[in-house]
């Protein structure tokens, strides 16, 4: 998927280069660009041959998330989802549109695979091929509805969470210019000003430390829900079956007992010896930006590669600092986007 990620990043950077053409400097709210970048990447990586249709899914999903926020409190009323408000009507209309768009993409690709066409090296092709093999070998597999839900989930879980990681990395590097300088030096040492390659990403130790610290301070998912399916011993507690548990990732990541008295400060060097050594003997499980255990986020490696590529390509071409109009506004909803955008001053290098 690296070529798809690089292509999307290059297209975004070209837009920034246009903005900085006249004076090499421009004040830009980079959040909409980064947000669109993540949707662009997931569209190419998940549905490469249906890119334009996939873009339509992304824009509708974005609207659904905004509508879901408006409907959040109505849903708690008995029968609230049936109240014919404007937002409720739009939410239901969008749900049908999403279903039809996703179904069209899935069925078209399924027919292409059945007639012997190449499945494309994208997530949908891999999913349908493995599902077809499961049917042949075991007589069982996912229904078309299951595949459609997976496709919708690619967007929901794979776009705004990654864009959140990239934007807070840019904000932190704007506040801590010394780390921006260190990261750029490392990137230029590994890649120069040339195109990125997969092998080189493994050598970006400083960039990885920075990304881990951003994931700690601004986890894309601020909490995770779990449930006991049998009686479970948790420390000194015995939890009965059927108990819902909220794990407050944001709180755990800012706990001084785990991270030290400087838990609220941006210090990537705490990860210089790996995650396990950053938690004052509490182990690597205290760091959970992608959840943990058997249900850990299946896209964590994809997200980290996307973030590394985006930061590397941006730092090859630009330096940046906070604009006087910047307002720090982490907004904990489904993920942790900046409520008032991210106004930065870009300097072309």
Asked if residue 341 belongs to a domain, the reply is yes
Asked if residue 255 belongs to a domain, the reply is no
Q: In this structure, are residues 220 and 299 in contact, taking their beta carbons and an 8 Å threshold? A: no
Asked if residue 20 belongs to a domain, the reply is yes
Q: In this structure, are residues 38 and 11 in contact, taking their beta carbons and an 8 Å threshold? A: no
In the chain, the number of structural domains is 1
- pLDDT tens column, 73-96: 665 566 666 677 888 889 889 888
- pLDDT tens column, 218-269: 999 899 988 999 999 988 999 999 999 999 999 999 999 999 999 999 999 9
308's tokens: 């590394």
For the chain, percent helix, then strand, then coil, each to nearest 5?
60, 10, 30
Q: 167 Cβ partners below 8 Å, 6+ apart?
A: 30, 31, 34, 35, 337, 338, 342
Task: Classify 214 as helix, strand or coil.
Answer: helix
Nearest to 66 by CA among 168, 163, 160: 160
Nearest to 266 by CA among 253, 249, 282: 253
Q: Give the mean model confidence (pLDDT) for residues 100-125.
A: 79
Asked if residue 324 belongs to a domain, the reply is yes
Pick 274 or 101 by higher pLDDT.
274
Asked if residue 233 belongs to a domain, the reply is no
Asked if residue 246 belongs to a domain, the reply is no
Is the predicted pLDDT of residue 164 greater than 70, yes or no? yes
pLDDT value, residue 189 = 97
Asked if residue 322 belongs to a domain, the reply is yes
Nearest to 157 by CA among 246, 91, 220, 93: 220
- CATH code of the domain covering residue 185: 1.10.630.10
* Residues 157, 303: Cα–Cα separation, whole Å: 10
* Residues 211, 181: Cα–Cα separation, whole Å: 15
pLDDT value, residue 120 = 64
Q: Spell out a b/e string for 252-279, using b for 16 or more CB atoms within 10 Å of the CB, else e.
A: bbeeeebbeeebeebbbebbeeeeeebb
Asked if residue 230 belongs to a domain, the reply is no
Nearest to 304 by CA among 49, 75, 2, 16: 2
- pLDDT, averaged across the chain: 89
Q: Give the mean model confidence (pLDDT) for residues 202-222.
A: 96
Is the predicted pLDDT of residue 206 greater than 80, yes or no? yes
Pick 80 or 196 by higher pLDDT.
196
Residue 15 belongs to domain spanning: 2-220+289-348
pLDDT value, residue 50 = 64
Pick 333 or 236 by higher pLDDT.
236
In this prediction, residue 119 has a pLDDT band, given cuts at 50, 70 and 90, of: low
Backbone angles phi, psi at 212, to 5 degrees: -65, -40
In this prediction, residue 102 has a pLDDT band, given cuts at 50, 70 and 90, of: confident
């Amino acid at each position: 998927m690296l070529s798809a990620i690089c292509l999307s990043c290059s297209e975004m950077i070209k837009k920034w280069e246009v903005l900085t053409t006249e004076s090499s400097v421009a004040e830009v709210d980079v959040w909409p660009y980064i947000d669109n970048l993540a949707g662009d990447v997931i569209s190419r990586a998940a549905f490469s041959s249906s890119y334009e249709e996939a873009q339509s899914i992304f824009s509708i999903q974005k609207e659904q998330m905004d509508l879901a926020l408006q409907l959040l409190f109505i849903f708690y009323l008995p029968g609230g989802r049936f109240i014919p408000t404007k937002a409720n009507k739009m939410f239901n209309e969008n749900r049908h549109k999403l279903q039809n768009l996703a179904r069209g993409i899935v069925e078209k690709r399924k027919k292409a695979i059945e007639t012997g066409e190449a499945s494309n090296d994208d997530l949908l092709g891999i999913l349908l091929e493995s599902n077809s093999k499961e049917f042949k070998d075991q007589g069982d597999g996912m229904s078309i509805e299951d595949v459609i839900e997976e496709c919708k989930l690619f967007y929901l879980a794979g776009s705004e969470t990654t864009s959140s990681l990239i934007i807070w990395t840019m904000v932190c590097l704007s506040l801590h210019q010394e780390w921006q300088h260190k990261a750029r030096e490392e990137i230029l040492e590994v890649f120069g000003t040339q195109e990125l390659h997969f092998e080189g990403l493994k050598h970006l130790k400083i960039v990885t430390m920075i990304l881990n610290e951003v994931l700690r301070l601004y986890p894309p998912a601020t909490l995770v829900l779990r449930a006991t399916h049998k009686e479970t011993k948790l420390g000194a507690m015995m939890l009965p079956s059927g108990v819902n548990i909220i794990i407050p990732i944001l709180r755990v990541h800012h706990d001084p007992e785990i991270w030290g008295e400087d838990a609220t400060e941006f210090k990537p060097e705490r990860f210089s010896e790996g995650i396990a050594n950053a938690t004052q003997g509490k182990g690597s499980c205290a760091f959970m930006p992608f959840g943990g255990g058997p249900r850990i986020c299946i896209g964590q490696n994809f997200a980290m590669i996307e973030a590394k590529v985006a930061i590397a390509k941006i730092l090859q071409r630009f330096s940046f600092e906070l604009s006087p109009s910047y307002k720090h506004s982490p907004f904990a909803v489904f993920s942790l986007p900046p409520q008032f955008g991210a106004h930065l001053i870009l300097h072309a290098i």
